[in-house]
Amino acid sequence: RLADSAAEGVAAAVPETSEGQAAEPLEARLERGISKIAALFSR
C-alpha cells in the first residue's frame, strides 16, 4: 500500500507537460516529489 501511494505521489509531483512548457527544472520537480514521499513515510 505504501508503494502504491508513493507511486501516486511521484505521478502527482511530475505532471504531464510538454518540455517547452515546463518552466520549472526537472530536478526541482523531482526534489519536491521526493520530499512529498519522504513526508508520507515519516507520518
Residue with cell 520537480: 29
Chunked mean pLDDT (size 10), the chain, 43 residues: 59 56 75 92 86
Q: What is the model's pLDDT at position 39? A: 92
Contacts of 36 (CB under 8 A, 6+ apart): 9, 12, 13
Q: What is the model's pLDDT at position 2? A: 59
DSSP string for 4-32: HHHHHHHHHHS----GGG--S-HHHHHHH
Q: What is the model's pLDDT at position 29? A: 86
Q: What is the model's pLDDT at position 26? A: 81
